[in-house]
Copies of this chain bind each other. A is one copy, B any other.
Amino acid sequence: MTAKKKRPTLQDVADRVGITKMTVSRYLKKPEQVSIALHEKIQSALDELGYIPNKVPDMLSSAKSHAIGVLVPSLTNQVFSEVIRGFESVTEPAGYQTMLAHYGYSQSAEEARIATLLGYNVDGLILSESAHTERVRRMIKTAGVPVIEMMDSVSPAIEQAIGFDNSAASFAMTELMISRGHHNIVYFAARMDARTRLKIQGYEQAMRKHNLEPFSLQTEEASSFTRGALLLRQALQQRPSLDGIFCTNDDLAIGAFYECQRQGIPVPEQIGIAGFHGHDISGAMVPRLATVVTPREEMGRLAAENLLSRLQGKPVTERVIDLPFRLEAGESLRPES
């Protein structure tokens, strides 16, 4: 076969039945408006030709694409997979397709991705960041699509933010560590994004409040178990007297814990370790990891619900939705005295 058969259109289906494409279109959208006599004929023509609905023409006619653009900094980060799961648990039953893109924590990459997504006429946008370039704000305004920022509850939001208070969460965990007798606490950070900075702030505030000297180690690399181990070795060199590690996420914390094991450092007796987010593994490992349990799925779900509501023309109800977090002490901190 040399002639490349192109995919069938409504017209092809209509021709085969001997009607107009309008009737076929109706059969697909509002079958009750089409005579029963035609149903079978149309259906078999659809089947025989293998018609695949095409959303594009309708997208062009200024109608809706029924696609929502979701931007996350990273796919490998477990956190976002869970947020997305929550998000899609709402959008998918509602018939919206997710267009997922990631930008590797880079603002300029975020800008490029947003332009691309808007180029596909997404009906709305979910962002995972609260800091954006000026052009991003322009584009969003010009495109006129609803936007929700996730992951943090700082204001002012572009339109609406749904998240939790990263700084307060970090403050609370630091105080818990201090109350458990860990005073020389080092903070481990990777990939310095806006949220990480907020977490460090909370940590530093708590340390200062208790007249302790904050000290944080940062790396530009992505966080991973291996990275946590590296940071621990580095920290032991720079602060041999440390007795606590607070990590910006569970991966680093667990990596640091393994390194302690390798070096024969007892946890939590000599060093207490805390993570952030409360992934499945933090509760499964031995000892269970102290961590801040964050509302990941709920965040995604709420973002979806609010976005859908706004797509139906309803106004923004709350500009900032601040979800609660929870501290889990695990067994990687010294016991309560």
Contact = CB atoms under 8 A, between A and B. Distances in A.
A115 interface: yes
A236 interface: no
Nearest to A84: B75
Contacts of A121: 54, 56
Interface residues of A, number: 58
A101 B67 CA distance: 12
Interface of A: 4-8, 49-50, 52-57, 59-60, 62, 65, 67, 75-76, 78, 81-82, 84-85, 97-101, 115-116, 118-121, 138-139, 141-144, 224-226, 228-229, 254-255, 258, 261-262, 280-281, 283-286
A58 B225 CA distance: 45
18 contacts: A5-B144, A6-B62, A6-B144, A50-B142, A52-B118, A52-B139, A52-B142, A53-B115, A56-B119, A56-B120, A75-B81, A75-B84, A99-B99, A99-B100, A225-B281, A226-B280, A255-B284, A258-B286
A301 to B, nearest CB: 15
A180 to B, nearest CB: 22
Contacts of A76: 78, 81-82, 85
Contacts of A280: 224-226
Contact of A115 (B52, B82, B84): B52
Contacts of A50: 138-139, 141-142
Contact of A226 (B59, B101, B284): B284
Each complex incorporates copies of this chain amounting to 2
A119 B66 CA distance: 11
A174 B229 CA distance: 30
A50 B254 CA distance: 46
B98 A101 contact: yes
A327 to B, nearest CB: 20
Contacts of A49: 142
A59 B62 contact: no
Nearest to A82: B76
A228 B50 CA distance: 43
Nearest to A117: B97
A254 B229 contact: no
Nearest to A262: B286
Contacts of A62: 6
Given A50-B138, A76-B85, 4 more contacts: A50-B139, A50-B141, A55-B119, A97-B116
Contact of A284 (B78, B98, B258): B258
B281 A55 contact: no
Contacts of A139: 50, 52
Contacts of A258: 284-286
Given A5-B144, A52-B143, A144-B4, A281 B262 contact: no
